[in-house]
Structure 1
Amino acid sequence: MASVYDLKPRFVALLRPLAAKLAGLGVTANAVTLAAMIGSIAVGILLAWWPTCLELWLVLPVFLFLRMAANAIDGILAREHGMKSRLGAILNEVGDVVSDTALTLPVLLLPGVTGFWVIMAIVIAIIGELVGVLGQVVGSTRRYDGPMGKSDRALALGLLGLMLGAGFGLGSWIDWEMIIVAGLGLVTIFNRARKALAETPK
């Protein structure tokens, strides 16, 4: 199924010159990964501290775009500038899960939101990333199949922040967005598991 992840090659091409400049300045892939994770935690704390200041949620789509750029840059640095490492692989996977969780948890604090669906969206997202990594364990590749991968969740969460900040206000639409994210997350888990097994030599 189609995913925002399919657009990554074009995004990476645009960021390649910036990554080269950062490499020249001595910036490492792991430093970029850690910066993105720490930034996500900071933004999550900010939104959790003032969840009812809806204009503040406009920070979310802006930061998510920057985080996506950081994720692409750390990959370029690792692959094309000789910075690939086992520590980097761990930081990349853990950082994504920590960042997603930190940025989604503040939605729980919005008045009228059903916490169950927010928690389900987070848990299913974590399981989806776990299944993606398990592809390597069973002899396949790391699976990034959609329709609700990391980039798709960022798009959905950024849209939520944009709508809140733009004055759409609170309402049941937030629950429905979380339900859709969770539902498509389950499809993602199935797709990743199925394709990992199909790719694995018998």
Structure 2
Amino acid sequence: MTGDRRPIAARDSGVMQRLAAWLILRRASANDISLLGMGAALLAGGCFALVPSLPQATWVWWLLGAALVQLRLLANLLDGMVAIGRGVASPVGELFNEVPDRVSDTTILLGLGWAAGELSLGLGAALAAMTTAYIRAVGRSAGAPSDFRGPLAKPQRMALVTLAAVWCAVTPATWSAAVPTLALWVILLGAALTAARRLTGISQALRRLH
């Protein structure tokens, strides 16, 4: 898994560098790390979906879901670092880089939509998130650099989901009932704006190339 990468400041932190080095020494597979991230996302979506059916322990499912969303992001960060650190280019690395991310976004946002009682809104947010990635991938295949601009790219979407989940876990239900729905609307509209900005930026980049 090589090529231009999303700029993430945490990638340069000492903790992440040491963790990546530890994985590289043990010859960890970047593709396996990508699958681990997808597994964490599937579990996160499941935790969120359990919220309405297990009201006595909603805070547990919210917090566990939030932790799993962050584990998903950690795996997304480490898979590329491990691939580059090991100097291993898998012929299917790009598939492992992209496909699990689309599954992860969809599962998490659908789970949040189920928790909010707004499954259609969760689906809309998931489709908007997928559109941002689709536009980036099409632009890259056409010869433009990968466009990771926001305002609501994957890290921001997952940060918002995490904050919403933690808020729902630690505050009374009367304070948090509308928070998942609000988070999904922000993600839907923010992802739509992100898609529009990427489409404009990629169009301009391709015109400059030709």
When normalised by structure 2's length, the TM-score is 0.85
1:120 aligns with 2:124: yes
RMSD over aligned Cα atoms: 1.8
CA distance in 1, matches of 2:44, 2:118: 22
Q: Which moved more, 1:185-194 or 1:45-54?
A: 45-54
Answer yes or no: is 1:165 the counterpart of 2:175: no
| Matched pairs, number | 195
Change (3 A) 1:172 1:142: same
Runs of 4 or more off by more than 6 Å in structure 1? Answer: none
Cα distance in 2, alignment partners of residues 157 and 24 from structure 1: 33
Aligned residue identity for 1:49: L
CA distance in 1, matches of 2:66, 2:83: 26
Give the match for residue 46 of structure 1: 47
Report the CA distance between 1:59 and its aligned residue: 1.3
CA–CA distance in structure 2, aligned partners of residues 73 and 40 of structure 1: 15
Cα separation, 2, equivalents of 1:50 and 1:194: 39
Partner Cα distance (1:19, 1:73) in 2: 6
**Structure 2 unpaired stretches of 5+:** 1-5
Aligned to 1:189: 195
Deviation, structure 1 residue 41: 1.2
Report the CA distance between 1:142 and its aligned residue.
Answer: 1.8
**Would the alpha carbon gap of residues 61 and 18 (structure 1) be closer, same or farther in structure 2, given more than 3 Å must change?**
same
Name the CA distance, whole Å, in 2 between partners of 1:72 and 1:176: 27
1:188 maps to amino acid: T
- Is the Cα contact below 8 Å between 1:134 and 1:142 reproduced in 2? no
| Residues 40-85 of structure 1, C-alpha deviations (whole Å, 9 max, x = no match) | 1123223323444321201122222222221111111122321232
What is the percent sequence identity of the aligned residues? 22
Question: In structure 1, the residue corresponding to 2:92 is in which secondary structure?
Answer: helix
User: What are the within-5 Å matches in structure 2 for residues 92-111 of structure 1?
Assistant: 92-110=97-115
Gap runs ≥5 in structure 1 = none
* Pair 1:16–1:150, CA change in 2 (3 A): same
Relative contact order (alpha carbons < 8 A, sep ≥ 6): 1 or 2 greater?
Answer: 1
TM-score (norm 1): 0.88
The Cα of 1:32 is off from its aligned counterpart by 0.5
